[in-house]
A and B are shown apart, each in its own frame.
Chain A
Amino acid sequence: MTQADRDIERLIELMARLPGLGPRSARRAALHLIKKRGQVMAPLAEVMGRVAATVRDCAACGNLATGDLCDICRDPARATGEICVVEDVADLWALERGQVFRGRYHVLGGTLSALDGIGPEDLRIPVLIRRIADEGVREVILALGATVDGQTTAHYIAEALAEAAVEVSTLAQGVPVGGELDYLDEGTISAALRARRRV
């Protein structure tokens, strides 16, 4: 086996580790890249190298950044006194896509999980408490999943902030846009019914 063969095998092996790809689809993707090495592979490799070298966690919120602070934390217009707490960067991106929230974020990096041994010290909760004092935050919005782990984390944070002079809120739960009651699970329907409002 030549060095080139070994490199291609290594490329396939690494691509097979990506989410959504197995050994067979990684082989197909690698072959596609090799065939289009000028148009796709070389620019992709260049961008990947650059991202790997420059991207780091934002020192304030935990979002992805190319400097010490991410674009959102650097933007003075987003210092609205509101912090939205999310589990992961993917959740932050989801909220940004909505273009509704104009405050800042705080990425926890996971949720509390007794069974997986993830405790408060493993999440960025102490940094959040420090930020609330330093940045003059008025409201903390807990945008965590409506799961057992997500809500356990939300209740824990709400309790940790009980002494702080800050309003703590959570996202509403209920019928999604385009949702039909017939297709909703019992938990969502009961949450929606509990959170009903006058029209």
Chain B
Amino acid sequence: MDWREEGILLAVRPHGEHAAIIEVFTRDHGRHAGVVRGGAARRMAPILQPGAELDLAWRARLEDHIGTFEVEPVRSRSAILSDADALAGLGAVCALVIRSLPERDPHPQLHAATRALLDAMAAGAGDWPLAYLRWELGLLEDLGYGLDLSACAVTGSAEGLCYVSPRTGRAVSRAGAGDWADRLLPLPPCLLGQGPATAEEIVAGLTTTGHFLARLAADLADRPLPEARNRLVARLSRRI
């Protein structure tokens, strides 16, 4: 059994004294783990940093074995290290992918979005928080928890949408919300694809996606949202 493709490094754990077990996110093989022999060596440390793009050659005797990776660096994205917000964003992306995606299940669209998002963070693009918010929407969509923001769940109208139902994930208009408005989640225009967005709108959008990500995390493993994601939201909230 073997394959070769590029992937994003999500996490590294030491395995014995000399090896490491890495988790990567690839287009065709999804989230995939494997052993890197010599992965604990100092010369490998700059290569095996989360967020790095790697050329991966995986090999195992049987399909269900963890297998071994041969890795070559493609892009390090090390510029993220010097930007505190982007570093928090990278932590949130890696933690959410690890916690949410089933192993060896391809999610090509989400992979492409993840790659673009990390590239934007590394390039210091000012609008990456909005791209991150849309990435969370894409993650929910890919895992069957997508929000239906096309029309109001109460009136059927596509006008004046400003809330999301925390139960169904469907949009609700101001007219349709009535007395229930304070129990609904915010729907900032940026969640409807209308940008650019202010920091306040992005944090409001993250409140809404966070509600459904928390539900996803509870359904998958009865765990809360990853701390890294909470840390990112706290950082972005300080921009308001």
Using a CB–CB cutoff of 8 Å, the interface residues on chain A facing chain B are 19-20, 114-115, 117, 119, 146-148, 151-152, 155, 158-159, 185-188, 190-191, 194
Q: Cβ of B87 and Cβ of A151 under 8 Å apart?
A: yes
Q: Cβ of B75 and Cβ of A186 under 8 Å apart?
A: yes
Which residues of chain B in 225-240 are interfacial with respect to chain A, using CB atoms and an 8 Å cutoff? Answer: 226-228, 231
Q: Cβ of A185 and Cβ of B46 under 8 Å apart?
A: yes
Q: Counting CB contacts under 8 A, is B130 at the interface?
A: no
Which residues of A lie under 8 Å from residue B76 when comparing CB positions? 185-187, 190
Separation in Å of the B107 CB from the closest CB of chain A?
20
Partner of B81, one of A19, A114, A146: A146
Which residues of A lie under 8 Å from residue B185 when comparing CB positions? none
Which residues of B lie under 8 Å from residue A148 when comparing CB positions? 49-51, 81, 87, 90-91
Which residues of chain B in 94-151 are interfacial with respect to chain A, using CB atoms and an 8 Å cutoff? Answer: 94-95, 98
Which residues of B lie under 8 Å from residue A155 when comparing CB positions? 84, 87-88
Q: Cβ of B82 and Cβ of A186 under 8 Å apart?
A: no
Residue pairs across A and B with CB atoms within 8 Å: the count is: 62
Interface residue SS majority, chain A: helix
Q: Cβ of B231 and Cβ of A114 under 8 Å apart?
A: yes
Which residues of A lie under 8 Å from residue B47 when comparing CB positions? 185
Interface residue SS majority, chain B: helix
Separation in Å of the B151 CB from the closest CB of chain A?
37
Q: Cβ of A115 and Cβ of B98 under 8 Å apart?
A: yes
Which residues of A lie under 8 Å from residue B228 when comparing CB positions? 114-115
Separation in Å of the B210 CB from the closest CB of chain A?
16
Which residues of A lie under 8 Å from residue B90 when comparing CB positions? 148
Q: In the assembly, what is the distance between CA of A129 and CA of B90, in Å?
A: 27
Partner of A147, one of B45, B79, B94: B45
Separation in Å of the B93 CB from the closest CB of chain A?
11
Which residues of B lie under 8 Å from residue A20 when comparing CB positions? 17
Q: Counting CB contacts under 8 A, is B157 at the interface?
A: no
Q: How would residues 77 to 89 of chain B score, 1 for a CB under 8 Å from any chain A CB and 0 otherwise?
A: 0110110100110
Q: In the assembly, what is the distance between CA of A194 and CA of B83, in Å?
A: 13
Separation in Å of the B41 CB from the closest CB of chain A?
13
Residue of B nearest to A184 (CB): B46
| Known contacts A114-B228, A115-B98: A152-B91 contact under CB 8 Å | yes
